[in-house]
Amino acid sequence: MCGIAGIYSVSAAVPQAALTQLAAALHHRGPDATGYYQTARLGLVHTRLSIIDLAGGNQPLYTRDRQLCVVANGEIYNHIELRATLEARGHVFSTHSDCETILHAYREYGDDFVRHLFGMFAFALYDVARDRLLLARDRLGIKPLFIKADSAGVVFASEIKALLPAGEPARIEPDALLQYFQSNFISGARTIVAGIEKVWPGELVEVRGGRITARRRYWQLSDVEPLEISYAEAARRFDDLMATVVQQHLRADVPFGVFLSGGVDSSTLVALIRRYSDQPLHTYSVGFPGAAVNNELATARRIAEQFHTQHTELALSERELLAVLPDTIAVSGELMADYANLPTWLLARRASVDVKVVLSGEGGDEVFAGYGRYRAPRIKRLWQALQHPGSGGYRTRGLAKSVSVADLFNGSDVESIARAPFIQAWRAANPRWSNLARMQYTDIATWLADDLLVKADRMMMAHGVEGRVPFLDHRVVEFGLALPDRLKVEGRTGKIFLRRWAEQFLPKDHLWSKKKGFTVPVREWLRGERMAQLGAACRGHAAFQAMRTESLTRLIDRQSRSGDETTFVWALLQYGLWYERFMEGRTGTLHDWVGAAAT
């Protein structure tokens, strides 16, 4: 795992100082080595976290004639198979790096080359002869890539904060702010910073002469067709698929571990790793002793004992969790208020003592339909669809229970702007899919890409740990989404296929127990005198000037009285901290509140 960045200027020379500054902003993503490529108007940057070909894999990488150059972040999991195919066609490799296959695949297959790459990646490939830069991101958006284009040229980087203007405040993107307070994250191409966009998952961007000249999606999940198949046949296919996927995800020249929650996904992953690898396996679990939320440390411990892993448990207090809140915002740069950022940050810090690669079960609920919201009564969805049209009654509710986002902000059409990513995803879904498949697709296209995967990447990379997510290999995602509804949901139980399939590894009582979910006890923190102090810090704060004062006051007062606006207040706090850090460049009253709460 690494950091990449670059500048492609329309006319001016690219100063080395600008490239050095980009490298410094991404050093935490790649502390092992830094490399540069530079011409008169183009500069590429790579910061390396060494995982494969430790001795020979420094980047940039080149073809032998030095007419192609690449800087890449991520892993090409099928690099061994792809290398063999390319060598059989006469290609000569210079290293054992998995990322060198990107160069030779481009030379062999032209613009169709990305389809031959199976993995998680974001890269920049420069074609010297054609003076052409290609930026690409993996199919599911596991690895990040941001781009900023203006009259001077194009700048890109693995993280937003590398692209923030030096010495001056960034500008807030108003529509993105509405999305954030609707759903806890910002989806689609927009970011919270005006002028900075995401490269879409599965997108290829062409830049020539410092200008973006073409953008296209090389892969679309909506192309997957529903499959009528028996359980027996699906299980046979999945056996073969997971044998390939898991073994490819275990390719590394460094030790690896697993974040083990004790749920179906991470437990199944541990079982599969044990099937295909005899290397020592580290597992890591987290719990919150004394809190009212579910604690699955004992469940995870039983799985660790069954598969003889080297198991580590973190029992975290509220003060430990709150203390790292400003750090999680600083390393992310993006606006995303997932509670799980805090324990993930601390788990990654602990895991970094032992390993450089951590696998997790991220994506299992979306791919195999595990969430309870997928089983909501049809009449409820119809009612929601009437009140909030556009997404089939799905993903209609905002963060606040007592106030809508339209009540919180001035302006026309506020709700449709705030809900736009969900409406667009619902409409982009394959018309031959069931409503269940549409809900899965909507989550994969929005919440998974722009919340869960952001959390996994930023919190792990803050500690030089590469996160791998086998259930989000595009072949597994295509398989899971195509399954018939009867292999996904049965009555009030979801994830039917994966539970049945995993019975060959795990106890039935473990697999078929009610899903408890992973919850951080934030509600317990935002009560009483502490909440009163937070409310006082929020009122009149510069970050919240665009909000209607009466609506904001009502929400804060309701949280103080009943505690049922926790999700909104947490998002409010996160935005305020982000604003102080990235807009004002200082630690203000909200940072002071966190400091006091954590002591």
Report, as an integer, the average pLDDT of 444-464.
Answer: 95
Q: Do 456 and 563 belong to one domain? A: no
The alpha carbon of residue 519 and the mean position of all alpha carbons in its chain are separated, in whole angstroms, by: 18
Question: What's the maximum distance between 2 C-alpha atoms anywhere in the chain?
Answer: 71
Task: Tell me if the bond preceding 60 is cis, omega within 30° of 0.
Answer: yes
Q: Do 192 and 247 belong to one domain? A: no
Q: Do 35 and 156 belong to one domain? A: yes
Q: Do 590 and 532 belong to one domain? A: yes
Q: Do 26 and 74 belong to one domain? A: yes
Identify the band that residue 57 occupies on the pLDDT scale cut at 50, 70 and 90.
confident
Domain count, the chain: 4
Report, as an integer, the average pLDDT of 103-110.
Answer: 98
Please state, in angstroms and rounded to a whole number, the distance separating the CA atoms of residues 407 and 135: 40
Strand partners, 119: 76
What's 16-32 look like in SS3? HHHHHHHHHHCHHHCEC
Looking at the predicted structure, is the pLDDT value of residue 53 above 70?
no
What is the reported pLDDT for 518?
62
Among 161-175, 189-203, 210-224, 245-259, the least confident range: 161-175
In a domain, residue 516? The reply is no
Burial readout 561-593 (b: 16 or more C-beta within 10 A, e: otherwise): eeeebbbbbbbbbbbbbbbbbbbeeeebbbbeb
Looking at the predicted structure, is the pLDDT value of residue 178 above 80?
yes
User: Computed from CA positions of residues 328, 329, 333, 334, in that sequence, does the dihedral angle turn out positive or negative?
Assistant: positive
Please state, in angstroms and rounded to a whole number, the distance separating the CA atoms of residues 480 and 471: 9
Identify the band that residue 143 occupies on the pLDDT scale cut at 50, 70 and 90.
very high
What is the reported pLDDT for 291?
66
Please state, in angstroms and rounded to a whole number, the distance separating the CA atoms of residues 7 and 356: 29
Residue among 583, 547, 572, 544 nearest 414 (CA): 547
Looking at the predicted structure, is the pLDDT value of residue 242 above 90?
yes
Bridge pairing between strands 42-48 and 2-9: antiparallel
Residue among 42, 54, 25 nearest 158 (CA): 25
Side-chain-side CA neighbours of residue 233 (13 Å)? 6
**Quick one: which H or E segment has residue 567?**
helix 566-578
Report, as an integer, the average pLDDT of 314-337.
Answer: 92
Which pTM was predicted?
0.95
Among 106-115, 156-165, 512-521, the least confident range: 512-521
Last-in-domain residue among 477, 511, 545: 511
Q: 42: domain CATH number? A: 3.60.20.10
In a domain, residue 326? The reply is yes
Residue pLDDT, tens place only, 365-417:
999 999 999 999 999 999 999 999 999 999 998 999 888 899 999 888 899 99
What is the reported pLDDT for 2?
85
Q: Is 450 annotated as a binding residue?
A: no
Across the chain, what does the average pLDDT equal? 93
Structural domain containing residue 532: 526-597
Q: Do 238 and 215 belong to one domain? A: no
Looking at the predicted structure, is the pLDDT value of residue 82 above 90?
yes
In a domain, residue 518? The reply is no
Q: 320: domain CATH number? A: 3.40.50.620
Q: Is 70 annotated as a binding residue?
A: no
Q: Do 286 and 260 belong to one domain? A: yes
Last-in-domain residue among 389, 415, 434: 434
In a domain, residue 559? The reply is yes
Looking at the predicted structure, is the pLDDT value of residue 56 above 70?
no
CA–CA distance from 394 to each of 8, 338, 450 (Å)? 41, 20, 18
Identify the band that residue 6 occupies on the pLDDT scale cut at 50, 70 and 90.
very high
Q: For residue 52, give the DSSP letter.
A: S
In a domain, residue 521? The reply is no
Q: Do 493 and 539 belong to one domain? A: no
What is the reported pLDDT for 505?
95
Radius of gyration of the chain (CA): 24
Report, as an integer, the average pLDDT of 519-546.
Answer: 90
Instruction: Tell me, yes or no, if 69 is annotated catalytic.
Output: no
Please state, in angstroms and rounded to a whole number, the distance separating the CA atoms of residues 563 and 522: 10
In a domain, residue 53? The reply is yes
- The long-range contacts involving 483-487, CB below 8 angstroms and separated by at least 24 positions, are 483/227, 483/229, 483/234, 483/368, 484/226, 484/227, 484/228, 484/229, 485/434, 485/436, 485/437, 487/229, 487/231, 487/234
Q: Is 286 annotated as a binding residue?
A: yes
Instruction: Put the strands of the sheet holding 146-150 in their side by side order.
Output: 33-38, 42-48, 2-9, 153-157, 146-150, 196-198
How many residues in total does the chain contain? 599
**Quick one: which H or E segment has residue 522?**
helix 522-525
β strands within 27-138, DSSP E? 33-38, 42-48, 61-62, 68-76, 119-127, 132-137
What is the reported pLDDT for 295?
73
Q: Do 461 and 441 belong to one domain? A: yes
In a domain, residue 157? The reply is yes
Q: Give the N- to C-terminal CA distance of the chain in Å, as an integer.
A: 35
Q: Do 303 and 176 belong to one domain? A: no
Looking at the predicted structure, is the pLDDT value of residue 292 above 60?
no
Please state, in angstroms and rounded to a whole number, the distance separating the CA atoms of residues 250 and 268: 15
In a domain, residue 261? The reply is yes
Render 460-497 in DSSP notation, one character per residue: HHTTT-EEE-GGGSHHHHHHHHHS-GGGT-BTTB--HH
**Share of the chain residues as helix, strand and coil, in percent rounded to the nearest 5:** 45, 15, 35
Residue pLDDT, tens place only, 469-527:
999 999 999 999 999 999 999 999 999 999 999 999 999 999 998 766 667 888 888 98
Identify the band that residue 59 occupies on the pLDDT scale cut at 50, 70 and 90.
confident
Q: Do 278 and 264 belong to one domain? A: yes
Q: Do 364 and 457 belong to one domain? A: yes
Q: Is 360 annotated as a binding residue?
A: yes
What is the reported pLDDT for 325?
96
